[in-house]
Amino acid sequence: MTYPGRRGAPVIDVADLRVRLRTRRGSAQVVNGLSYQVHPGETVAVVGESGSGKSVSVLALLGLLPERISQVEGCATFDGQDLLSLDEEALRRVRGAGIGMVFQDPMTSLNPVLTVGRQLVEGIRAHARIGVPAARTRAADLLGEVGLPDARRALDRYPHELSGGMRQRVMIAIALSSEPALLVADEATTALDVTVQAQILELVSRLQADRGTGVIWITHDLGVVAGIADRVLVMYGGRCIEDGDVDDVFYRPAHPYTRGLLGALPRTDEPDDKPGGGTPGELVTIPGTPPSPTDLPPGCVFWPRCPVRADPRCETEVPPLVPVHEPAGTPAGVQHHAATFCPPDAVQGGAS
Amino acid sequence: MLVFLLVHLVPGDPVRLALGTRFDQETYEALRERAGLDLPLPVQYLAWVTSALTGDLGVSFRSGDPVTSLILERLPATLSLATTSILVALAVSIPLGTLSALRPRSVIDHLATLVSQAGISVPDFWMGILLILLFAGTFGLLPAGGYVPLSQDPLAWASHLVLPSVTVGVVSGSILTRFVRSSVLEAIGQDHVRTARSKGLGARTVLRWHVLRNALLPLVTVTGVQLAYLLSGVVVVEIVFAWPGLGQLALQSVQSRDYPVLQGAVLLFAVVFLVINLIVDLLYARLDPRISYR
Amino acid sequence: MTAPTPEAGALPAGTARPRWRESLALLLRNPIAVFAGAILGLVVTAALFGEALAPSGFNEVDIAARLQPPSGKHLFGTDELGRDVLSRVLLGAAVSLQVGLVAVGISLAVGTTVGLLAGYYGRRLDDVLMRLMDVLFAFPAILMAIAVLAILGPGTTNAMVAIGIVYTPIFARVTRAAVLGVREEVFVRASRSVGASDLRLLVRHVLPNAAPPIIVQTSVSLAFAVLSEAALSFIGLGTQPPDPSWGRMLSEGRGFIELAWWMAFFPGLAIFVTVLSFNLLGDALRDVLDPRQRTAMSSTATGEGGARA
């Protein structure tokens, strides 16, 4: 796909987002100072392992976390207003109309006892003053657009009568039904098999190009990222530890964790000589487990698992997210940042 | 379904068998012969089943009245009490259970839990007596007991129903409240509720169509079970309120060893159980698209 | 799935062996459980030492002082024969608890055995046993008890047997479900593979892991057993006069309800408070021992419904 560049104001501008959840084990800092922007037509991939805070960070934007146990701070400018300070009714108007969401499991994300048509129509009518017949016509058009055969009749189908891929198409139709400026896909292809996954990715790219929608794609699948993202944001332990153009991050990862992730990516195209890498085609994982959000290390969140530990400050001091000095000759793109004390040479030799 | 039918028709026999041992008294000998009790059991059973199929359940040992008419006489009273009680129970449990599920571990929730726990624990006959004391005695507002057929005087029918159906309804309602609470709590956590919210639906729409619509589906089953139990007679409450229902009939027939009547009542309970289960199944299939008839 | 939700966070997955000491500590931190325990302590005290505690003999007739309202002399008033209601209520605790314990003991022993066998051996035995239990369970509990008493004749002992029979299927079901849950667990399969005998397996491994729901069910069943005994005595099939039983007193008091409300009120209150305490304790136990089983409440709801109807 073509990279539309960074024209105009961002669709969403998130600054220093912090989310704290109260759990039975105490308070957990799940998202810790996250900042990013998404521009119209741009796809930003948020990458990280389970528990890295990536899903929570977007649910928090729309007030979809359980209110009683969550505490959200920071600023998220969308359409000229700060989402985090909106009241429930104003937020409701942003949900669906301004920001559409697609969730991971199409089996459970649709209400099993309501028809597909109903679920589309109620979303449309939540934001537009139109009658049911008009909304149904629009719903049928949308289903056609996302590639459901026989869209008119599909309106009266129940979710269980559709395949997983078809259900995810319905989810996308629902998410796009009110023409949102931003689409958030939370692990939207994880539960699907590979061919369907490719179809869905293709569909979203096409719709995005047609409408100029900004997309936040949350995933732990680096293969997906490589396929669709313009920019990548790597999360670990609730922090952004590296972000930049997809090429910069993939070919010149600056953070040891990103390198580890890339090492964990199953590869079939080339022999693997990276540290932590295995034989071709073999999935490699980083030893150890992500830190518990109730008990974060004082320094770099990755320190306990870090194979490099190049600097004594790593253990005690949180490394700031600073620009990475690219080697001469790299094409100028969006600024590439990483939060690490590791000198560039210590981590060179990523996927190249 | 067929297996179920078979299983639940069997109880007519063991009860008959068990009670049969009590019939060695001299006085009943003649009766035994007349009723065909001297015949081998399978023969008796067959005879009973064939006549039962034509609606003839035999004759009461005590009064000599046909069992079928004895039961039919009692049916309206039992139906009135069971249906109004279940309505009371639903009217209490759905709002209370939902409210406490919406705010888990809040003051409302703890209160609702305590109230429903109390409702489950309260001896219904005691509560009935206290209600009579209060509303029939002290305030003199409502009749203390008895039953007036609906066809005779609708107003009196209703006023006689209030206390017994509140008594039964509170107990049933408390059980249902706990069920509604856990069911709603489970439904709220479902992914599709998050989807509904992410579409920008109002809180009420989400609650009505994405939480309650799903959470109350299993309630159909539980309500059916409750209703079946209520129809089989809330024996003790019927006695407290002098309610001429099936429970009372069954108790009397046990006490007087009037076993054709007891047998008829048990058969009726089995039929009621089956019919309600069938209705619940049909209703469920209508309400839940995932269940098909095939 | 990205964040540890409070519901999922604290619970270990799989069937860890119950940790009794920790559970007890948790239970003691729950004010409702402590309260319920205290009430039950009082009831047990009354049951054990009722005769010594009672201000007067429970069958001490004093016609001159009959139908006296509650006063300093007779805290709960007197009945139609001038007997002290408080004394009778205190003594009634013994009957109620005794019937409750024995009845639940019967259902516990029979039901657990049936459930263990059905769950562990499965197949045909499971089918036969559980079908039997279903048939037993399909009857409204109180009618079932009445029918049993009709055969055995009224009386305290027979009431215990009747109630015991009625609640057997619930224990069978609970145990079977728990056994099915642990049967395929790694440690059970491992023990089997090293040649442990069935009996040893059942007693050493399966039973302890099935214990939490059974304990919870015991507490809840005690509640309903006490309630059932009261109901049976109320309709004249349980404890026979002159023994003071709460249900019996309530039924006698009913005749004097407009003259002497206290005659029916206090025995009923005693039943209510005792049953409530068992239920609350059962709830607290469920929270502590068996948090994953909370959804099982839905299936117990129908069971409780049966028990109450």
- Write out pLDDT tens, residues A67-78: 778 889 999 999
Short-list A73, A70, A146, A65, CA closest to A106: A146
Nearest to A108 among B190, B198, B200 (CB): B190
C256 in B contact zone (CB under 8 Å): no
Which residues does chain A have within 8 Å of residue B214's beta carbon, measured at their own beta carbons? 111-113
Nearest to B195 among A92, A110, A115 (CB): A110
Cross-chain residue pair B203–A88, CB shorter than 8 Å: yes
- Dihedral, CA of residue C158, residue C164, residue C165 and residue C169, to nearest 10: 170
Indicate the average pLDDT of chain A.
Answer: 83
Cross-chain residue pair A21–C10, CB shorter than 8 Å: no
Confidence of residue C18 (pLDDT cuts 50, 70, 90): low
> What is the pLDDT averaged over residues B143-171?
87
Q: Would the pLDDT of B160 be above 50?
A: yes
What's residue A131's pLDDT?
92
Peptide bond preceding C242 in cis form (omega within 30 of 0)? yes
All residues at 6 or more sequence positions from B40 whose CB lies less than 8 Å from its CB, including other chains: none
> What is the pLDDT averaged over residues C118-133?
79
> What is the pLDDT averaged over residues C19-25?
74
Residues 133-192 of C with CB under 8 A from A: none
Mutate to test the interface with C, among B109, B126, B127, B274 (most CBs of C within 10 A): B126
3-state secondary structure of C12: coil
Which residues does chain B have within 8 Å of residue C260's beta carbon, measured at their own beta carbons? none
Q: Which residue of A has its CA nearest to C11?
A: A24
Report chain C's terminal Cα–Cα distance, integer Å: 42
Selected residue with higher pLDDT from B216 and B259: B216
CA within 13 Å, CB half, B46: 5
Mutate to test the interface with C, among A17, A21, A235 (most CBs of C within 10 A): A21
> What is the pLDDT averaged over residues A203-217?
90
User: Mind listing the pLDDT tens digit for each residue in C83-110?
Assistant: 788 888 888 888 888 889 999 999 999 9
What's residue A278's pLDDT?
41
Q: Would the pLDDT of A25 be above 90?
A: no
Confidence of residue A314 (pLDDT cuts 50, 70, 90): confident
The number of beta carbons lying within 10 Å of the beta carbon of residue B284 is 16
> What is the pLDDT averaged over residues C188-193?
71
Mutate to test the interface with B, among C136, C234, C263 (most CBs of B within 10 A): C234
Nearest to A111 among B202, B210, B287 (CB): B210
Cross-chain residue pair A53–C4, CB shorter than 8 Å: no
Cross-chain residue pair A55–C3, CB shorter than 8 Å: yes
A25 in C contact zone (CB under 8 Å): yes
Nearest to C6 among A23, A55, A293 (CB): A23
The number of beta carbons lying within 10 Å of the beta carbon of residue C184 is 8
C9 in A contact zone (CB under 8 Å): yes
- A338 to chain C, closest Cα gap in Å: 22
Indicate the average pLDDT of chain B.
Answer: 78
Helix axes B154-188, B67-102, angle to 10 degrees: 40
Asked if residues B70 and B59 have their Cβ atoms less than 8 Å apart, the reply is no
Confidence of residue B208 (pLDDT cuts 50, 70, 90): very high
Which residues does chain B have within 8 Å of residue C138's beta carbon, measured at their own beta carbons? 7-8, 11, 270, 273
What's residue C159's pLDDT?
87
CA distance C100 to C225: 5
Nearest to C3 among A25, A56, A187 (CB): A56
Short-list C287, A160, C93, A229, CA closest to B105: C287
Cross-chain residue pair C265–B254, CB shorter than 8 Å: no
A337 in C contact zone (CB under 8 Å): no
User: Mind listing the pLDDT tens digit for each residue in B49-95?
Assistant: 666 666 666 677 667 778 888 888 888 898 899 999 999 999 999 99
Residues 61-80 of A with CB under 8 A from C: 69
Nearest to C3 among A30, A104, A187 (CB): A30
A232 in C contact zone (CB under 8 Å): no
Indicate the average pLDDT of chain C.
Answer: 76
- B183 to chain C, closest Cα gap in Å: 8
Looking at residue B20, its amino acid is G
> What is the pLDDT averaged over residues A302-327?
80
Residues 137-196 of C with CB under 8 A from B: 138-140, 142-143, 146-147, 149-151
Selected residue with higher pLDDT from A51 and A186: A186
Q: Would the pLDDT of A182 be above 50?
A: yes
Q: Would the pLDDT of A320 be above 60?
A: yes
What's residue B196's pLDDT?
93
What secondary structure, in 3-state letters, does chain A show?
CCCCCCCCCCCEEEEEEEEEEEECCEEEEEEEEEEEEECCCCEEEEECCCCCCHHHHHHHHCCCCCHHHEEEEEEEEECCEEHHHCCHHHHHHHECCCEEEECCCCCCCCCCCCCHHHHHHHHHHCCCCCCHHHHHHHHHHHHHHCCCCCHHHHCCCCHHHCCHHHHHHHHHHHHHCCCCCEEEEECCCCCCCHHHHHHHHHHHHHHHHHHCCEEEEEECCHHHHHHHCCEEEEEECCEEEEEEEHHHHHHCCCCHHHHHHHHHCCCCCCCCCCCCCCCCCCCCCCCCCCCCCCCCCCCCCCHHHCCCCCCCHHHHCCCCCEECCCCCCCCCCCCCEECCCCCHHHHCCCCC
Confidence of residue B207 (pLDDT cuts 50, 70, 90): very high
What's residue B33's pLDDT?
54
Confidence of residue C190 (pLDDT cuts 50, 70, 90): confident
Cross-chain residue pair C275–B18, CB shorter than 8 Å: no
Q: Report the complex ipTM.
A: 0.81
Name the token pair of C162.
């009747």
Q: Would the pLDDT of A133 be above 90?
A: yes
Which residues does chain B have within 8 Å of residue C307's beta carbon, measured at their own beta carbons? none
- Longest Cα pair distance anywhere in chain B, in angstroms? 79
What's residue B3's pLDDT?
36
Cross-chain residue pair C135–B133, CB shorter than 8 Å: no
Cross-chain residue pair B117–C250, CB shorter than 8 Å: no
Looking at residue C46, its amino acid is A
Mutate to test the interface with C, among B22, B220, B229 (most CBs of C within 10 A): B229
Residues 204-223 of C with CB under 8 A from B: 223
Confidence of residue B261 (pLDDT cuts 50, 70, 90): confident
Cross-chain residue pair C302–B222, CB shorter than 8 Å: yes
* Whole-number percent of chain B with pLDDT over 70: 78
Helices (H) and strands (E) in chain B, counts: 15, 0
Which residues does chain A have within 8 Å of residue B209's beta carbon, measured at their own beta carbons? 111, 114, 122
Q: Would the pLDDT of B34 be above 60?
A: no
CA distance A240 to A47: 9
Mutate to test the interface with B, among A79, A113, A125 (most CBs of B within 10 A): A113
CA distance A247 to A253: 9
Cross-chain residue pair A123–B199, CB shorter than 8 Å: yes
Mutate to test the interface with B, among A91, A122, A155, A218 (most CBs of B within 10 A): A122
A50 in C contact zone (CB under 8 Å): yes
Cross-chain residue pair A52–C4, CB shorter than 8 Å: no
Which residues does chain A have within 8 Å of residue B201's beta carbon, measured at their own beta carbons? 92, 96, 122-123, 126
Cross-chain residue pair B195–A101, CB shorter than 8 Å: yes
Size of the A and B interface in Cβ pairs below 8 Å: 86
What's residue A331's pLDDT?
59
Cross-chain residue pair C1–A55, CB shorter than 8 Å: yes
Touching B (3+ Cβ pairs <8 A), the chains are A, C
Q: Which residue of B has its CA nearest to C147?
A: B254
What's residue B140's pLDDT?
75
- C140 to chain A, closest Cα gap in Å: 33
CA distance A309 to A314: 7
User: Mind listing the pLDDT tens digit for each residue in A164-177?
Assistant: 889 999 999 999 99
> What is the pLDDT averaged over residues C221-229?
90
What's residue A350's pLDDT?
42
Which residues does chain C have within 8 Å of residue B21's beta carbon, measured at their own beta carbons? 151
What's residue C149's pLDDT?
79
> What is the pLDDT averaged over residues B276-290?
84
Which residues does chain B have within 8 Å of residue A59's beta carbon, measured at their own beta carbons? 194
What's residue B173's pLDDT?
92
3-state secondary structure of B189: coil
What's residue A317's pLDDT?
83
Cross-chain residue pair C138–B273, CB shorter than 8 Å: yes
